[in-house]
Structure 1
Amino acid sequence: MQIVKMLNLERQYASLRPEIDAAIGQVLARQNFILGDEVATLEQEIAMYCRTGYGVGVASGTDALLLSLKAAGVGPGDEVIVPAFTFVATADTVSLLGATPVFADIDPASYTMDVTTLEALVTPATKAIIAVHLYGQAADIFPIATLAKKYGLALLGDTAQALGATYAGEPVCSYGDFGCLSFFPSKNLGAYGDGGMIVTASAEVASSLKMLRAHGSRKKYRSETLGWNSRLDEIQAAILRVKLPYLDQWNRARREHAVRYSDALGQLDEVVLPIVAPRCSHVFHQYTIRVPERDRVQAALKELGVESAVHYPIPLHLQPMYRSLGYQQGSLPEAEKAAREVLSLPIYPDLEESEVNRVVRAVKQALLSTSARSRVALSGVA
């Protein structure tokens, strides 16, 4: 049985192989691998794409968050408000600087921060807010930015999954003091290894970030502050420069697949579909539905030859490493409910229509079989 993969990067490489191989070959011929022309040009191209003034290439999306927090002055004794439902890097970068993440619940429809709860989380120790644009869906950034301005807080956009998404017609990564990007291979714009970038409108901030990514040095062998070795390398930058002109086309293909899924699955009472929030565009890094008995449905899909994924099974406030912060089951109910129900289906630009149709059939069959098993179990109890 042929498997419908969650992600198939081989197809993308096959379509771009001559361009990719040529770009890598040029870097190898020049033998300049660290902070060369490819990185500098990509920084300009990404900044232009995001409509910001500056881009700073770093080693990963996690480092983009870490260096941005450091540049914002976050340190021991500070608090940073983050959503409870996202990848762990959003919070552990706060902790690595000696600060404390303060977890916000999510809006159950968009999976992004519930803006109505944020102001109550602000304390005299609050230093920053990280707004995560999850699954490719922009967070409701206007009220978040307004709150940040009111209290003098730094605003970071975790745009790892949402490059190309917009809010009120503007690139979502242009909002806030720092836009943090990831080029992890599975991302809408993915490298062939780790990589990341920070975009900002401030020349001063960009200069500070470049110092932080190079051991705290503006001049070689002269370190002004504690920093990191966090540099996007030339080969990854060359690959990304080949891919960037295709990004909008790929995002359109993702949206088209999402429409097909929603049209076919929208008639099922058991399935909660992803939404496109008001004033936003969605780039569908993930197409994530909600279903009852999620784990059983996922197991049934696997039996039918369809891969799926759970993003994310444990909300951050219930992660073992944050037990000392005192959150309990029920503290943030929407994040906890989402963690029990979400299921991401295959969605990538090279997904074929026949595969979309096969996924739809498998979801319907998985729901039927799961429902039947539940009825049998209930009758056995009775």
Structure 2
Amino acid sequence: MTTRVWDYLPEYEKERVDIIDAVETVFESGQLVLGASVSSFESEFAGYHGGGHCTGVDNGTNAVKLGLEALGVGPGDEVITVSNTAAPTVVAIVGAGATPVFVDVQEDDYLMDTDLVAAAITPRTKALLPVHLYGQCVDMAPLRRLAGEHGLSILEDCAQSHGARHHGQLAGTMGDAAAFSFYPTKVLGAYGDGGAVLTRDENIDRALRRLRYYGMETVYYVTALPGHNSRLDEVQAEILRRKLRRLDEYIAGRNEIAERYAEGLADLTGPGGLVLPSVRPENDHVYYVYVVRHPRRDDIIERLQRYDIALNISYRWPVHTMTGFAHLGYATGSLPVTERLADEIFSLPMYPSLPRARQDQVIEALHEVLGSL
């Protein structure tokens, strides 16, 4: 049997009764759209983050897009972010009518190099969009300082960092607003698509609620455009309510697996060897994915297939190298660290219900494969 990078079936087997009850709760409620489950989840998710406002939306991409629009970002504006991210981050920027501007990432933790942001700011810059990638937070203090100096907004991309902390502060509580994805693979994942935007600003929240509902504040009356049909589904919201109560348990499980990987693979590190994740001392990592590096990445992945172990590459193609974004004008070599990482990084299987025997299989197979290179 193949060891997958992610698999929801073991978790579903354990939580099936609660998940089925969540579905029946919605079906028996008499309201299938923007009902009690969505409003309750919004309140509880905001509460998990210490208060403020939460607006549930249909997916993480629209969480970024609507978050930008609620912050006043639109045509003619620039948004500074990274190319080492999932393409939806950048698709959302373009969808809001803005132009993405990329800065490189750091070699050790793969996160935005905040030392490069100041030089990327122009009179057209409207927002900074740090991506808390792989389960670890970007250093936010320099970004908040720059935002204050230049009158910029900050939208945190928290799609991969539910429950992560930076200096003890939760991801999603350090900017003007924060976008979350609840795609099934996420640390807090639904059984389909879903997303949300957090903010402590009541005016931003009001704009978000209008944006997700056609531009309406009351039924059938559009008060302002743009407007979208981007509502979080009631069934997914109720499932997320149940799973939110177990979020800290999921995070603990991921950290336990990460510790076993770190211990079991330590002897494969060193010059020219496997590079394990680097965690900054001020960060609490939630390990959405467990990303390692090796200069012979492709050979390793090919050989591991013989062991029925499936790996993932997050991400093989930096966004600025994709043909869909060629119009942005980034030449090969313009983001050297990002491009080098794309040739070396890969993700090991990581989800809380990953059996210990499968973890051992991954560790043993990597020893055999790297020993044969």
Tell me the TM-score normalized by structure 2. Answer: 0.97
Aligned pair 1:242/2:213, yes or no?
A: no
Aligned pair 1:37/2:36, yes or no?
A: yes
Gaps of 5+ in 2: none
Aligned pair 1:158/2:157, yes or no?
A: yes
Instruction: Give the aligned partner of residue 303 of structure 1.
Output: 306
Contact 1:273 1:290 in 2 (8 A): yes
Instruction: Give the aligned partner of residue 211 of structure 2.
Output: 212
Deviation at 1:244, TM superposition (A): 0.8
Any idea what SS the aligned residue of 2:245 has? helix
2:323 to 320, 324, 346: 320
Instruction: Give the aligned partner of residue 139 of structure 1.
Output: 138
Q: Aligned partners of 2:199, 2:286: CA distance in 1, in Å?
A: 21
Deviation at 1:323, TM superposition (A): 1.3
Contact 1:52 1:199 in 2 (8 A): no
Deviation at 1:352, TM superposition (A): 1.7
Any idea what SS the aligned residue of 1:267 has? helix
Residue type at the aligned position of 1:334: V
Deviation at 1:267, TM superposition (A): 1.6
1:338 to 337, 341, 344: 341
Residue type at the aligned position of 1:168: H
Residue type at the aligned position of 1:249: E
Any idea what SS the aligned residue of 1:39 has? helix
Can you list the C-alpha shifts for 1:133-164, whole angstroms capped at 9, x where unaligned? 00001111111121111111110100000000
Any idea what SS the aligned residue of 2:189 has? coil
Instruction: Give the aligned partner of residue 69 of structure 1.
Output: 68
Can you list the C-alpha shifts for 1:288-329, whole angstroms capped at 9, x where unaligned? 000112111111111111111000011111111121222111
Contact 2:179 2:197 in 1 (8 A): yes
Residue type at the aligned position of 1:263: E
Tell me the TM-score normalized by structure 1. Answer: 0.95
Instruction: Give the aligned partner of residue 278 of structure 2.
Output: 275
Quote the sequence identity (%). Answer: 40
Q: Aligned partners of 1:37, 1:207: CA distance in 2, in Å?
A: 18
Q: Aligned partners of 1:141, 1:363: CA distance in 2, in Å?
A: 35
Any idea what SS the aligned residue of 1:30 has? coil
Structure 1 runs of 4+ with >6 Å offset? none
Contact 1:113 1:131 in 2 (8 A): yes
Contact 2:187 2:288 in 1 (8 A): yes
Any idea what SS the aligned residue of 1:101 has? strand
Residue type at the aligned position of 1:295: D
Q: Aligned partners of 2:361, 2:172: CA distance in 1, in Å?
A: 34
Can you list the C-alpha shifts for 1:47-71, whole angstroms capped at 9, x where unaligned? 0111231100000000100001111
Instruction: Give the aligned partner of residue 183 of structure 2.
Output: 184
Contact 2:61 2:91 in 1 (8 A): no
Contact 1:216 1:228 in 2 (8 A): yes
Residue type at the aligned position of 1:161: Q
Gaps of 5+ in 1: 372-382
Q: Aligned partners of 2:332, 2:281: CA distance in 1, in Å?
A: 31
Contact 1:81 1:102 in 2 (8 A): yes
RMSD after superposition: 1.0
Deviation at 1:336, TM superposition (A): 0.4
Contact 1:52 1:174 in 2 (8 A): no
Farther off after superposition, 304-313 or 350-359: 350-359
